[in-house]
Structure 1
Amino acid sequence: MAKMAGRLTIFAGTGALVPHVVEAALAAGYKVQVLTLAPREAIAGVKMGSVDLDNPLGIIWSLKVFRTSHIIMAGGIDLPDKARAGLIRFANGNAAPGEGVAETPIGDAALAALAKVLKKMAGADLVGVHELSPDLLAGEGVLAGPGFDDAPAAAFALETARAIGALDIGQAAVVSGRRIIAVEDIGGTDALIDRVGALRARGSTGTGSAPLILAKARQPQQSGFVDLPSIGPQTVERCAAAGIAVIAVEAGQSLVLQRAALVEAAARLGISVIGMRLDHD
Structure 2
Amino acid sequence: MPHVVQAALEVGYKVQLLALTPRPYLAKIKMVEAKLDNPLGIIWSLKVFRTTHIAFAGGIHLPDKARQGLIRFANGNGAPVGAGGSGPVGDAELAAIGSVLKKMTGADLIGVHELSPDLLAAEGTIAGPALADEALVAASYTLSVARAIGGLDIGQAAVASGRRVLAVEDIGGTDALIARVGELRRTGLAGDGATPMVLAKAMKPQQPAFADLPAIGPDTVTHCAAAGISVIAVEAGRSLVLQRAALVEAAARHGVSVIGIKLADA
Of 113-122 and 219-228, more deviation after overlay is shown by 113-122
| CA pair 104-165 structure 1, distance change in 2 beyond 3 A | farther
Letter in 2 for 1:213: V
Is the 8 Å Cα contact of residues 112 and 222 (structure 1) preserved in structure 2?
A: yes
Secondary structure at 1:226 match in 2: coil
Mapped pair 1:235 → 2:220: yes
How many residues end up aligned between the 2 structures? Answer: 263
Corresponding residue of 1:278: 263
Secondary structure at 2:194 match in 1: coil
Mapped pair 1:126 → 2:109: yes
Corresponding residue of 2:160: 175
Secondary structure at 2:78 match in 1: coil
Corresponding residue of 2:98: 115
Q: Output one character per residue of 1:150-199: Cα deviation in whole Å (capped at 9) or x when no partner.
A: 32211110011011111111110000000010000111000100110011
Q: Output one character per residue of 1:219-245: Cα deviation in whole Å (capped at 9) or x when no partner.
A: 000111011001011100000000000
| CA pair 158-234 structure 1, distance change in 2 beyond 3 A | same
Q: Which runs of 5+ in 2 are unaligned?
A: none
Identity among equivalent pairs (%)? 69
Secondary structure at 2:22 match in 1: coil
Secondary structure at 2:9 match in 1: helix
- Cα RMSD, aligned residues only: 1.8
Q: Which runs of 5+ in 1 are unaligned?
A: 1-17
Mapped pair 1:147 → 2:130: yes
Corresponding residue of 1:96: 79
Rounded Cα–Cα distance in structure 1 between residues aligned with 2:87 and 2:50? 30
Rounded Cα–Cα distance in structure 2 between residues aligned with 1:105 and 1:272? 37
Is the 8 Å Cα contact of residues 88 and 104 (structure 1) preserved in structure 2?
A: no
Superposed, 1:80-95 pairs within 5 Å as 80-95=63-78
Q: Output one character per residue of 1:121-164: Cα deviation in whole Å (capped at 9) or x when no partner.
A: 10000111111110110011111000112322111100110111
Is the 8 Å Cα contact of residues 111 and 226 (structure 1) preserved in structure 2?
A: no
Letter in 2 for 1:209: A
| CA pair 105-143 structure 1, distance change in 2 beyond 3 A | farther
Displaced runs of 4+ in structure 1, greater than 4 A? Answer: 101-105
Rounded Cα–Cα distance in structure 2 between residues aligned with 1:280 and 1:71? 28
Rounded Cα–Cα distance in structure 2 between residues aligned with 1:19 and 1:115? 23
Mapped pair 1:62 → 2:69: no
Is the 8 Å Cα contact of residues 212 and 245 (structure 1) preserved in structure 2?
A: yes
Is the 8 Å Cα contact of residues 252 and 277 (structure 1) preserved in structure 2?
A: yes
1:213 pairs with 194, 198, 201, which one? Answer: 198
- TM-score, length basis structure 1: 0.90
- TM-score, length basis structure 2: 0.95
Corresponding residue of 1:52: 35
Letter in 1 for 2:225: A
Letter in 2 for 1:191: A
